[in-house]
Amino acid sequence: MLNTLFLLVYSFAVIFLLWQAFRVMSRGFMAAQELPSSSIKRSHSGEDRTGRLTIHPELLDQDGRITDEELLTVRFSGDMDPPQSAETSAE
């Protein structure tokens, strides 16, 4: 009797959670369909969302200018690739 009760409670919980998941996913799909196509194209175009050049804060000195210091790098064991210079492209 107790096993049957646990099976019913467990089944109800699984069905309820699946229903909630599909409900949330359907809201997301509906919201994505309502977006204008121009905003979707802009987000995938690869440009910065602000339209401005952004610089990582660690590259700036105390005055807010880009530092001229050499950057420290970390090498892991088994990494046999030669280090790349700053002038060459990483591609």
Which residue from 47, 68, 50 is spatially nearest to 59, judged by alpha carbons? Answer: 68
DSSP state of 57: G
Domain residue spans of the chain: 2-48
Burial class of residue 15 in the structure, from the number of CB atoms within 10 Å of its CB (0-12 exposed, 13-18 middle, 19+ buried): exposed
At 66 the pLDDT is: 85
pLDDT at 45 over 60: no
Q: What is the pTM of this model?
A: 0.37
Count how many residues are written for the chain. Answer: 91
Average pLDDT of 66-89? Answer: 71
Average pLDDT of 79-90? Answer: 61
Average pLDDT of 35-63? Answer: 67
Average pLDDT of 16-44? Answer: 76
